[in-house]
Amino acid sequence: MPAPDSTPLLEIEDLKIAFQRYRQEPVLAVKGIDLQLLRGESLAIVGESGSGKSVTALSLARLLPEPQTKITAKTLRVNGHDVLNMNERALRRMRGKEIAYVFQEPSSSLNPVLTIRTQMAEALRLHRPDVTNLDEEIIQWLYKVGIVEPEKRLRAYPHELSGGMQQRVMIAMALCCQPQLLIADEPTTALDVTIQKQIIDLLADLRTSLGMSIVLITHNFAIIRNIADKVAVMFRGQIVESGSTEEVLANPQHPYTKALIACVPKLGVQQDKLQTIDYAAVEAAL
Ligand SMILES: Nc1ncnc2c1ncn2[C@@H]1O[C@H](COP(=O)(O)OP(=O)(O)OP(=O)(O)O)[C@@H](O)[C@H]1O
């Protein structure tokens, strides 16, 4: 029997991301971060708006605008590829097939003038030429993400589906190419709380049944427990704390992590006022 593959899926060392600005100093959005993920492991990147979570995720498949964006790293390896030295053709092959994204806004991934079938078929033709019966394959994926009567949804346009359903279709579209790594960037922020839970539970189930890795990007500590083995907390372009999810939730060390966890409302606990973050204390601990 072959030995299990223990090569890392993600190896990031000293990743920096800078945006060039016209006649001004560049903005350093990510200031030298390290991350590692083994195959099958899942990671949550948690932090508030503007902390650098999304640009970090987009840099993994070189999806940031070049040359306005300057990405440097000692190591930036995804599924064995040296991302910073890949050409456009190799990047296109990797995107969707090895690393796939689900974003917050369905409109960023779903084309409003094409049916669900047309969009999913395009992804399958590109990345899984082995699939002979496209309709059957698409129906199966729609079913896996919890869409009822998927055969009836095949020819629907995105606007004919609810927000939660559109999110499920995006997940099906990302997963049908069987990527090793799924990046879910705030996948539930635009949805109401009950649907949020359904989508996170769905991702957790799919992760186990398909054996893939997930990087979940969120500002919300409340949703990571069931889905992420590890967590990295970002603040102003840096990782201020990282570790196993259980450990970080039970025993946060950094004042920013403590503050983010304290902001999560607890069921059955009356809170008189909203928690706010003491930035002076956070800055002092950097
Ligand atoms: N194309 C761009 N040009 C210039 N600056 C950018 C660009 N994209 C992002 N930034 C800046 O990089 C920083 C990090 O942005 P990023 O979107 O990664 O934050 P985030 O933590 O994902 O926040 P959010 O949760 O709001 O998406 C921000 O200061 C942002 O303004």
> Could you identify the atom of ligand 1 that is nearest to the CA of residue 52?
18
What domain count does the chain have?
1
- Give the residue from 222, 227, 212 showing the smallest Cα distance to 180: 212
| Bridge partner list, 238 | 235
Q: Which residues line ligand 1 (CB under 6 A)?
A: 19, 27, 29, 47, 49-55, 65, 219
Q: What is the CATH number of the domain that holds 87?
A: 3.40.50.300
Structural domain span for residue 205: 8-284
- Centre of ligand 1 to C-alpha 54, Å, is 7
Q: What is the pLDDT of residue 198?
A: 82
Residue 226, in any domain of the structure? yes
DSSP states along 212-237? -EEEEEES-GGG-TTT-SEEEEEETT
Residue 2, in any domain of the structure? no
pLDDT average per 10 residues of sequence, the chain (286 residues): 66 96 89 94 92 95 93 96 96 92 82 93 90 94 89 92 88 90 87 80 86 91 88 95 95 90 68 65 70
- Centre of ligand 1 to C-alpha 29, Å, is 7
* Phi, psi values for residue 113, rounded to 5°: -100, 5
Residue 168, in any domain of the structure? yes
Q: What is the pLDDT of residue 265?
A: 65
Residue 214, in any domain of the structure? yes
> Which residue has the least CA distance to atom 9 on ligand 1?
55
Residue 3, in any domain of the structure? no
Alpha-carbon distances of 103 from 94, 109, 155, 175, rounded to whole Å: 18, 7, 22, 13
Pocket test residue of 19, 33, 56, 101 for ligand 1, highest count of atoms within 8 A of CB: 19
pTM of the entire structure?
A: 0.88
ipTM score? 0.91
- Centre of ligand 1 to C-alpha 98, Å, is 24
Pocket test residue of 55, 70, 223, 240 for ligand 1, highest count of atoms within 8 A of CB: 55
